[in-house]
Amino acid sequence: MPTLTAADWQDYALLDSGQGRKLERFGPATLIRPEAQATWQPALPRAQWDAAHAIFTASSQNGGRWQQRQPLPPRWPMAYGALRFWVQASQSRQVGLFPENAAHWDWIAAQVRRAHQPLRVLNLFGYTGLATLMAAQAGAHVTHVDAAKKAVLWARDNQALSGLHDRPIRWVVEDALTYLRREARRGMRYHGIVLDPPAFGRGPGGEVWSFDRLFGELCNGCRAVLADEARFIVATVYTQGVAPASLAAALADIVRGQAGPVESGELATRERSAGRLLRNAIYARWQAL
């Protein structure tokens, strides 16, 4: 089973981990966040952890708060290749990017570039838009859907920061499944689909998203909007208990009848200090032959 690590980061590093936490560098700032897998001991000296700019302490599965130890701006820019985006450590433990997803960003850009026409790409649960912007930068027409207006505004700020104002991106604040069903009814078809569904979520109208209950329906919707000449699908899942092989089988159903391999495995990050591998998520992806 492949384990993908995002190897091309300059601005991000997992510096160390241990005692249920991880020490990461986001551009000029070092942050400490909870990491349940890090049951081992940190490899770096305590002084290096103590010098972190901010630490997030969890109070529940998603809740908690940031405590600044050194002054941090409200937000600061980071880069990945030609992409520019804002990072912030103030609201939740999520700071505006999932660095391990960079392994997919390059793959998505490669799929878009190797097509002979501008692809229509649908990004569901798009968050701050980094996959959207990578696809757009490579030449795709992208529809980006997220339930949170705040996430979409952040994504638009990232678009501006990356100098991609002129790219054809449709920003949609809506429940992903509701939007997908509407696109299917309207006869819209997409050549590429990016899925990053959380375990739970809510649409702007209070619609409940539950991975366990609704992922099958999401896949049916994706099948309905997939173009005959589709090029790729990539799904990333952080929900515990989902096996890469199950996700691969779900993707195989979506692309049934179209040629090309489905690959599945894990996204992981290698720590700088002792080389230990932290598993972040599972993924499956299909590309047309």
Ligand X SMILES: C[S@@+](CC[C@H](N)C(=O)[O-])C[C@H]1O[C@@H](n2cnc3c(N)ncnc32)[C@H](O)[C@@H]1O
Contacts to ligand X by CB under 6 A: 98, 125, 127, 145-148, 151, 175-176, 196, 198, 201-203, 207, 209, 238
Pick from 251, 259, 257, 253: nearest CA to 285: 251
Nearer to ligand X, 175 or 183 (CB): 175
Count of alpha carbons within 13 angstroms of residue 275, beta-carbon side: 0
In the bound complex, what is the minimum distance in angstroms from residue 73's beta carbon to ligand X?
22
Nearer to ligand X, 142 or 148 (CB): 148
Using Cβ positions, the residue closest to ligand X within the complex turns out to be: 201
Nearer to ligand X, 24 or 146 (CB): 146
Q: Angle CA(252)–CA(257)–CA(261) in degrees, nearest 5? A: 45
Pick from 122, 94, 282, 124: nearest CA to 214: 124
Nearer to ligand X, 125 or 171 (CB): 125
Q: Angle CA(253)–CA(258)–CA(260) in degrees, nearest 5? A: 95
In the bound complex, what is the minimum distance in angstroms from residue 96's beta carbon to ligand X?
10
In the bound complex, what is the minimum distance in angstroms from residue 236's beta carbon to ligand X?
6
In the bound complex, what is the minimum distance in angstroms from residue 154's beta carbon to ligand X?
9
Cα–Cα distance for residue pair 158/138, rounded to 1 Å: 16
Cα–Cα distance for residue pair 234/196, rounded to 1 Å: 8
Nearer to ligand X, 9 or 209 (CB): 209
What tokens does 262 get?
A: 């489905």
Largest CA distance in the chain: 59
In the bound complex, what is the minimum distance in angstroms from residue 111's beta carbon to ligand X?
20
